[in-house]
Amino acid sequence: MKDKVVIITGASSGIGKALAFAFGREGAKIVITGRKKEPLEAVSNELKAENIENLAITGDVSVEKDNEIMVNQTLEKYGKIDILINNAGISMRSMFEDVELEVIKKVMDINFYGVVYATKYALPHIKATKGSIIGISSIAGYRGLPVRSGYSASKFALNGFLEALRTELLKTGVHVLTACPGFTASNIRVASLGSDGQSKGDSMRDEGKMMSAEEVADAILNATKKRKRDLVLTSQGKLTVFLNKWLPKLMDTMVYNTLAKEKDSPLR
């Protein structure tokens, strides 16, 4: 990773922040993005304190123009792009019949179109360096999760996009990784949107029993070095993907029963 230029979207907290440190400690030059200037600058200062060279760019991945600006400012500063990590994401928690459709659209705009926009503008430069495009997806991209219909839809779309893109780029030397963490201790559940589009403000799961953001980042760093195609994390995640492929009807019941045990679950 020495002197590689790595763009990480949604890097002001959670997995994105952990990725900035993981790649930065390996000698990469880090570009971090996020919608909120103050927390983003705080992360930038933390990186600088560890002598990790970085550039902080405030922007919203769901806005196409912001992605173009992100790429242009990266090129102005560093002259190339080696790795794009599409990490920015948001979740939602509501029964589909209760949710305002604008919530579904917002989730899709960030989780899917944000990746499309960033990849579109960065791709020519990543082809030039024969670098990597990484999408932070989810087990929900393999198995639809109740009370998270919009989130699951966005991750299914992301998985399909990355698979198609990987195949298109097969002869170019560009590496495409689909990384699917299991349940990870981060702020994504706290920031998840309710049926009215407002942040829920708390987690419905025991964060202490989950994989840490730092563990996820280290696994993604390792998979990038090895130029892996897919990365599915946690035993629960691997088992979910396997069983959903071979015993999908059974998984309908198992997933329902598991998520019905969550705090304040609308499932009965």
Neighbours of 3 (CB within 10 A): 11
Question: In the chain, which ranges are E strands?
Answer: 5-8, 29-34, 54-58, 83-86, 132-136, 175-180, 184-185, 211-212, 230-232
- DSSP β-ladder status, 211-212 and 184-185: parallel
The pair of three-digit structure tokens given for residue 254, joined into one six-digit string: 């198992």
List 78, 142, 151, 256, catalytic entry: 151
The yes-or-no answer on residue 151 being catalytic is yes
What residues act catalytically?
151
